[in-house]
C-alpha cells in the first residue's frame, strides 16, 4: 500500500528553466508534507515543507504547492541549476502515522547546462 | 559539525551472520530513526525512538532490533542476516517529531548479504 507516490522516476530540464516535481498521496489524514533532496553517497537533506493549513510555501528558488482536494503536491524550482541535479523525495505524516514520515519513491532530477 | 554519524559505511555479510550498525548524533535530538532504502524505492521506516529508553516499530521491523540507552546513540542490530536485508540504511534524528520538523540524516550504510 503505497500511500505516497511519485509517478515520475526521472525528469530532465535545461538550466534556467522551471523544474516541476509531483507527488500524490492517498491518506487524507496526512497534514504535513516535506521534500528532501539526496545526492549520491549522501543522506537526504531537508528542502522545504508545508502544513495542510496552507496551499503554498516558498523558500528562495523553491516553492511547494499543496492541493488537498486532489491529494497532490508539487515542488517548483525556478530557475533550475545544474547543482539541483539530485533525487527528490516527497514525504508525508499525520493521522495514525503520528510522528512517522511516509516517503515516496523519489524522482531523479537532471538539470542540463 | 558532526551531525549524524553512521558506521560502517560499507559491509558485506554472509547469510546467517549478525552485525550492528552504529548511529550517533551530537545535536541532543530526542527523536531518532532507522530507514532502509531499496533500489527504486522510497525510504522505509524500520524502528524509531522518541527518547532514551523508548523505541517503537516502524513499517518494516522484522529481522531487526534496536536499543536506545542514551540520547546520542541508536544502534540497529541484524541478528540473522538474509539476502532481503541487502539495502542502504540511513539513520536520522530530529529535534521535534517528524511530522512537525525536519530530519537530519547520516550518510548511509550500504549492506550486502550474500
Chain A residue whose CA is closest to B4:
A43
Model confidence pLDDT, tens digit, residues B2-21: 799 999 999 999 999 999 99
What is the pLDDT at residue A96? 66
pLDDT at A97 over 70: no
Model confidence pLDDT, tens digit, residues B20-65: 999 999 999 999 999 999 987 889 999 999 999 999 999 999 999 9
Q: Give the nearest partner residue to A101 out of B98, B106, B108, using CB atoms.
A: B98
- Interface residues from chain B to A (CB-CB < 8 Å): 4, 31, 35, 40-45, 48, 50, 58-59, 90, 92, 97-100, 102-108
Q: Where does chain A show beta strands of DSSP type E? A: 4-5, 10-14, 19-25, 32-38, 45-51, 56-59, 62-67, 72-77, 86-93, 102-103, 107-112
Tell if the CB–CB gap between B103 and A93 is shorter than 8 Å: no
* CB half-sphere exposure, B38, CA atoms < 13 A: 9
What is the pLDDT at residue A65? 98
What is the pLDDT at residue B97? 77
pLDDT at A106 over 80: yes
What is the pLDDT at residue B42? 87
CA A37 to chain CA mean position, Å:
8
Mutate to test the interface with B, among A43, A92, A107 (most CBs of B within 10 A): A43
Q: How many CB atoms lie within 10 A of CB A38?
A: 21
Tell if the CB–CB gap between B90 and A45 is shorter than 8 Å: no
Examine residue B81 and say whether the peptide bond preceding it is cis (omega within 30 degrees of 0). Answer: no
What is the pLDDT at residue A98? 65
Model confidence pLDDT, tens digit, residues A12-64: 999 999 999 999 999 998 999 999 999 998 999 999 999 999 999 999 999 99
What is the pLDDT at residue B1? 65
Closest chain A C-alpha to B32 CA, distance in angstroms: 11
Tell if the CB–CB gap between A93 and B108 is shorter than 8 Å: no
β partners of residue A88:
A37, A107
Amino acid at each position: 500500500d503505497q500511500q505516497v507516490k511519485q509517478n515520475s522516476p526521472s525528469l530532465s530540464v535545461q538550466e534556467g528553466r522551471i523544474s516541476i516535481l509531483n507527488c500524490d498521496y492517498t491518506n487524507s489524514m496526512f497534514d504535513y508534507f516535506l521534500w528532501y533532496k539526496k545526492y549520491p553517497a549522501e543522506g537526504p537533506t531537508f528542502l522545504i515543507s508545508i502544513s495542510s493549513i496552507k496551499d503554498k510555501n516558498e523558500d528562495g528558488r523553491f516553492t511547494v504547492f499543496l492541493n488537498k482536494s486532489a491529494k497532490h503536491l508539487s515542488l517548483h524550482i525556478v530557475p533550475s541549476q545544474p547543482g539541483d541535479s539530485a533525487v527528490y523525495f516527497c514525504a508525508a505524516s499525520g493521522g495514525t502515522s503520528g510522528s512517522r514520515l511516509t516517503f515516496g519513491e523519489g524522482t531523479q532530477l537532471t538539470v542540463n547546462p | 559539525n558532526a551531525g549524524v554519524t553512521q558506521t560502517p559505511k560499507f559491509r558485506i555479510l554472509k547469510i546467517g551472520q549478525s552485525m550492528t550498525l552504529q548511529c550517533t548524533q551530537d545535536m541532543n535530538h530526542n527523536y531518532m530513526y532507522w530507514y532502509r532504502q531499496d533500489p527504486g524505492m522510497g525510504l522505509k521506516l524500520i524502528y524509531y525512538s522518541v527518547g532514551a529508553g523508548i523505541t517503537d516499530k516502524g513499517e518494516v521491523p522484522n529481522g531487526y532490533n534496536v536499543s536506545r540507552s542514551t540520547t546520542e546513540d541508536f544502534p540497529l542490530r541484524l541478528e540473522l542476516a538474509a539476502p532481503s536485508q541487502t539495502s542502504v540504511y540511513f539513520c536520522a534524528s530530529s529535534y521535534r517529531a517528524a511530522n512537525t520538523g525536519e530530519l537530519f540524516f547520516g550518510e548511509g550504510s550500504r549492506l550486502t548479504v550474500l
